[in-house]
Amino acid sequence: MLENIDLSLVNWSRGQFALTAMYHWIFVPLTLGLSFILAIMETLYVRTGNEEWKRITKFWMTLFGINFAIGVATGIILEFEFGTNWSNYSWFVGDIFGAPLAIEGIMAFFLESTFIAVMFFGWNKVSKKFHLVSTWLVAFGANLSALWILVANAWMQSPVGMHFNPETARNEMINFWEVLLSPVAINKFLHTITSGYVLSAIFVVGISSWFLLKKREQAFSKNSILVAAVFGLISSLMLIYTGDGSAKQVARVQPVKLAAMEGLYNGSERAPLVAIGILTDVAEDTTTRNAKKSAFKIEMPGFLSFLAFGKFDAFVPGINDLVDGNPQRGLMPVTEKMDRGKFARESLARLKDAREQGDTATYNMLKAQFNDPGFKNDYFRYFGYGFLTDPNSVIPNVPIAFYSFHIMVALGFYFLLLLALVLLSLYRGKIENRKFLLWLSVFSIPLTYIASQSGWVLAEMGRQPWVIQDLLPTMAAISHINTSSVQITFFLFLLLFTSLLIAELSIMIKQIKTGPK
């Protein structure tokens, strides 16, 4: 029961995983996008025979290699934490969650590691075309690796394609294709990789702009900007499109997250979308709901309804509707879900007792109950609510969800505008004279990382208190280990990852200052 769980252990375990994931995600987006930019540049080299394109490709390939190596190191640690800190989670859904991770390791990782050696060390040792194929395979391998990780994460947001086995108390996969091709997985994959493409494009544009500001490598810089800006502009449009699809999926499977994203407490038809807003506490709120209101906001009437359901007059439930219930809208209160979840948990406990006591009749009856579609739909789907003691605990941190969402969206549209202006200036042949735009491109590099991290903060913090939506709360997913062990490893990882990040930045800055050979 949750009463016996050490909350400090939960918080430190969450903190350690968040630390590892956020550091890992510093390196991954650049790998996803820069690999394709490299492949495009090398394709231009092979097709034109222009040695300048080879020189350009090799420079950006060096920066890619530095980033790739450190990204792999942090990713390995991240996967080990499922076994060390989250063993209950691994037991409960390991048969499902482990499958895409295994495929990622066997298929994607081996594809990357096999051809990345050719990509880096095969210049003038293999044919141009074989080297080019190797570069493209590294790009596809990096993105294929992301696919399986994101499929696993999407399943946590919306568990599908599974069956609960009451004999083992484990969830088992029954439909691999439903897991792989769920709408949540498709949107999450496309939205996440396109965000990496935009980050990589602005990374290349920003560094190339620095060369132009220093009056160095003008031809190199303009060619790099051309490839990166076109790639980034197309990716920005895809990013906005997939973001819209992701929002509709959130409205369908995680409505509380959507309400938190907009600070919406009371649902309405023609719900407005907050374009710009600042939250503050509601002074008269005496509940544990910690209600917020907008101290300042600019709204677009009906746009949240359209964003969520494709209709301007659609009803969007607020936090109060989802917690307290709204019979007119067919919304069940959380207290009812908690009762149903407790009944499902009690049924599982009774089945275990019957098996241990040799009560075959009761055991078979309860086993058949878990296989009954009505029981699955009416009770087991709320299994995770049976761990909760307070209905308000289903509300995520509203300010974090609200600000991370709006920062991500605002920066996404800013990047689209920036890349369009860069391309326009390049087309007019005046980009080297646009000092403000060049400096803006340089200083936009860290903004891409802020936007990227904001997206993951929203995805994971907005899902709380769930590790697996509606099936397993975070509190019930941890390993029963000493809190001090997690604290020690937290600070060790903090030191290690910070050192790696400083090392990467130092090596990259040195390489950039040296410039292409």
pLDDT tens digit sequence for 144-165: 889 998 999 999 999 999 999 8
- 84-93, 177-186, 187-196, 438-447: least confidently modelled range: 84-93
448 lies in a domain? yes
Question: Exposure of 486 by Cβ count < 10 A (0-12 exposed, 13-18 middle, 19+ buried)?
Answer: buried
Q: Which of 392, 419, 435 is the last residue of a domain?
A: 392
Confidence of residue 284 (pLDDT cuts 50, 70, 90): low
3-state secondary structure of 164: strand
The pLDDT of residue 345: 92
311 lies in a domain? yes
Nearest in space to 457 (alpha carbons), one of 25, 9, 7, 10: 25
Residues 429 and 372 in one domain: no
501 lies in a domain? yes
516 lies in a domain? no
318 lies in a domain? yes
pLDDT at 208 over 50: yes
Mean residue pLDDT across the chain:
90
pLDDT at 112 over 80: no
pLDDT at 494 over 50: yes
Residues 444 and 473 in one domain: yes
The pLDDT of residue 363: 86
The pLDDT of residue 293: 67
Residues 483-510: what's their mean pLDDT?
Answer: 92
pLDDT at 54 over 70: yes
517 lies in a domain? no
Q: Which of 348, 372, 392 is the last residue of a domain?
A: 392
Residues 394-402: what's their mean pLDDT?
Answer: 93
The two tokens of residue 257 are 């997250």
Residues 66 and 186 in one domain: yes
> What total number of domains does the chain contain?
3
Strand partners for 416 = none
The pLDDT of residue 26: 92
The pLDDT of residue 101: 82
Q: How far apart are the first and last CA of the chain?
A: 63
3-state SS string for 427-484: HCCCHHHCHHHHHHHHHHHHHHHHHHHHHHHHHHHCCCCEEECCCEEHHHCCCCCCHH
Residues 372-395: what's their mean pLDDT?
Answer: 92
The two tokens of residue 393 are 């605990």
Residues 315 and 365 in one domain: no
Residues 101 and 201 in one domain: yes
235 lies in a domain? yes
The pLDDT of residue 83: 81
pLDDT at 369 over 50: yes
90 lies in a domain? yes
Q: Each residue of 324-367: pLDDT tens digit? A: 999 999 999 999 999 999 999 999 999 999 988 888 888 889 88
The two tokens of residue 36 are 């394709």
Confidence of residue 103 (pLDDT cuts 50, 70, 90): confident
Q: Each residue of 408-418: pLDDT tens digit? A: 999 999 999 99
Residues 486-500: what's their mean pLDDT?
Answer: 92
Q: Which of 302, 329, 356 is the last residue of a domain?
A: 329
- Percentage of the residues of the chain whose pLDDT score is greater than 90: 64
Residues 105 and 140 in one domain: yes
Cis status, amide bond into 399, omega within 30 of 0 = no
Residues 299 and 151 in one domain: no
Residues 127 and 235 in one domain: yes
101 versus 207: which is more confidently predicted? 207
Within 10 A of 12 (CB to CB), how many other CB atoms are there? Answer: 21
Q: Each residue of 418-443: pLDDT tens digit? A: 999 999 999 988 898 899 999 999 99
Residues 223 and 114 in one domain: yes
pLDDT at 70 over 90: no
pLDDT at 282 over 70: no
The pLDDT of residue 285: 57
Residues 45 and 166 in one domain: yes
**298 is in which domain, residue-wise?**
263-329
Q: What is the rounded CA–CA span in Å between residue 346 and residue 150?
A: 33
The pLDDT of residue 1: 42
Is the Cβ–Cβ distance between 166 and 366 less than 8 Å? Answer: yes
Residues 170 and 241 in one domain: yes
Residues 41-67: what's their mean pLDDT?
Answer: 93
The pLDDT of residue 5: 72
Question: Exposure of 94 by Cβ count < 10 A (0-12 exposed, 13-18 middle, 19+ buried)?
Answer: middle
pLDDT at 78 over 90: no
C-alpha distance from residue 436 to each of 212, 275, 417, 433, 443 (Å) = 12, 26, 14, 9, 11
The two tokens of residue 239 are 């990013």
Q: Each residue of 218-238: pLDDT tens digit? A: 899 999 999 999 999 999 999
Residues 466-488: what's their mean pLDDT?
Answer: 91
Cis status, amide bond into 465, omega within 30 of 0 = yes
Residues 182 and 273 in one domain: no
